[in-house]
Structure 1
Amino acid sequence: MVTNDEDAHVRRLWRHRGTTLPTPRRGPRQQLDLDDILDAGIAIADVDGLVAVSTRAVAARFGKTAMALYPYVGTKENLLALMQDHASALPTWENPATSLADALRAWAEALFGVCLAHPWLTERSWSQASQGPNEQDWLERLLEIFDAWDVPAEARPPALTMLYATVRATAATAAAYDRLDGREITEWTRHARATAAHVPDLGTRYPLSTGLAPLTPEWRDNPRAALLGAVRLVAAALGATDPHP
């Protein structure tokens, strides 16, 4: 059975796709805009992470109390889900018709960009999917690519799992790299040098892992390079046919 809270939350999620926002039956007339509230929460999360987001912190941006925010967003978990879908709005791009690899790369790079702009999105587990329209748009767009290139039905679930997981993991790593300061980089370098000094035969013990060539000359670019390499591997494994005319 759908509760009143669930009904209100779904109406908020789909407010730009045909549903009407719930309004309080009593009390003062609403003075805030839901999009503005979510933009404020996203701004906090972008700078300080999800740990800094609370109904109190968001409400304070408007000179309101946490309780005053409840009629607009519901619970804190509802607020986070609304923020998640709002921040996941699909950017505009054309699916390349040149190859499956090119089409998947365009999709993956677009999602990578959104996750990098809002690193806290990768902190939300798949079990916390918002079930909102913007997140649904990403899945539909990916399946449209699979459909256009005749990807077999049985290959689609594992392929989309690999693509989503790789985008999330590489974006999270890239964001972590961006947050590293000079002190942390120096500490990492010192640790590497100490390991080399105390374990001089590391290369002999682990010849394969120590022999891996870097993906790019600049280590900060490695997550994106890894993503693009993974996309090529997935596309090759799918063995898709020509797109429909």
Structure 2
Amino acid sequence: MSAQEHVRRLWRGRGTTLPTPRRGPRQQLDLDEILAVAITIADTEGLAAVSTRSVAARFDKTAMALYPYVGTKDNLIALMQDHAVAMPTWADPGAGYADDLLAWATALFDVYLTHPWLTSLSWAESGQGPNEQDWLERLLGIMNRWSTPDATRVTMLYATVRATAATAAAYRRMSSDDTEGWLERAQATSRLIPDFRSRYPLSTALPPVDPDWRETPRAALTRAVHILTEG
């Protein structure tokens, strides 16, 4: 599949139309339905479980039958990535820079938390589609409105949202056995290293970001946005 064909799929309905085969049988599948199935697999089983074969099997098709719709697996992942980050609708609070920025960051955080596999994709794997571009444009619009456009702030904010969402998703995956194991190790450390607090006085005296450790990532994101706007 050529780059042009892939871009036409990414931007379908947003300036381009889907390429159609010049010959052969009429297409029977819908690209949005294919991506919805692929995203469901990634959400429930992880990104490693996604392949053209596994997705095609949900439609009782072969991997080769899926190729005219999505191309290679890399093409499929890029299409999934952009499809999954479709921006929800929300109104900027308008009360201040920090509030508007936090509304943007929280919305993206929730998208990442819904589709945690998104945070496993590197920055170099941008899907380059319209939905991703919508997020950046919305962010820059907020910064321009408050006269604070800054590429460094943009990078810092994206990195913070991704990192906190990835941590929150990891916390969600923890079972009761995982939690108990962590507590057992912490208790064993206290018994075996009785001077642990005196060895590390600064880190052990650091107050928690949130009383509930499961809410720490979201609370940390909120605090980070305020620090960023104060700076």
- TM over 0.5, shorter chain: yes
User: What does the per-residue CA deviation read over 1:159-217, in whole Å, with 9 as the maximum and x for residues that have no partner?
Assistant: 01110000000000000000000111111111111111111111111111111111111
Alignment of 1:100-179 (within 5 A): 100-151=97-148, 153=149, 156-179=150-173
The whole-number CA distance in structure 1 between the counterparts of 2:116 and 2:31 is 22
Corresponding residue number in structure 2 for 1:44: 41
The whole-number CA distance in structure 2 between the counterparts of 1:197 and 1:148 is 55
Corresponding residue number in structure 2 for 1:56: 53
Amino acid at match of 2:209: L
The whole-number CA distance in structure 1 between the counterparts of 2:66 and 2:10 is 16
Amino acid at match of 1:101: A
| Residue from 189, 192, 198 that aligns with 1:198 | 192
Q: Residue 24 of structure 2: SS of its match in structure 1?
A: coil
Runs of 4+ in 1 over 6 A off after TM superposition: none
Give the share of equivalent positions with the same residue, in percent: 63
Q: TM-score, normalised by structure 1?
A: 0.93
Amino acid at match of 2:187: R
In the TM superposition, what is the alpha-carbon distance from 1:23 to its structure 2 partner?
1.1
| Residue from 79, 89, 109 that aligns with 1:82 | 79
Amino acid at match of 1:181: S
Unaligned runs of 5+ in 2: none
Q: In angstroms, what is the RMSD of aligned CA positions?
A: 0.8
Q: TM-score, normalised by structure 2?
A: 0.98
Corresponding residue number in structure 2 for 1:241: none
User: What does the per-residue CA deviation read over 1:95-153, in whole Å, with 9 as the maximum and x for residues that have no partner?
Assistant: 121100000000000000000000000011110001100000000000000100011x4
Corresponding residue number in structure 2 for 1:15: 12
In the TM superposition, what is the alpha-carbon distance from 1:16 to its structure 2 partner?
2.0
The whole-number CA distance in structure 1 between the counterparts of 2:55 and 2:140 is 36
| Residue from 189, 198, 212 that aligns with 1:218 | 212
Q: Residue 87 of structure 2: SS of its match in structure 1?
A: coil
Corresponding residue number in structure 2 for 1:240: none
Corresponding residue number in structure 1 for 2:29: 32
The whole-number CA distance in structure 1 between the counterparts of 2:54 and 2:98 is 43
The whole-number CA distance in structure 2 between the counterparts of 1:191 and 1:48 is 29
Is 1:65 aligned to 2:62, yes or no?
yes
The whole-number CA distance in structure 2 between the counterparts of 1:120 and 1:181 is 19
The whole-number CA distance in structure 2 between the counterparts of 1:132 and 1:144 is 18
In the TM superposition, what is the alpha-carbon distance from 1:25 to its structure 2 partner?
1.6
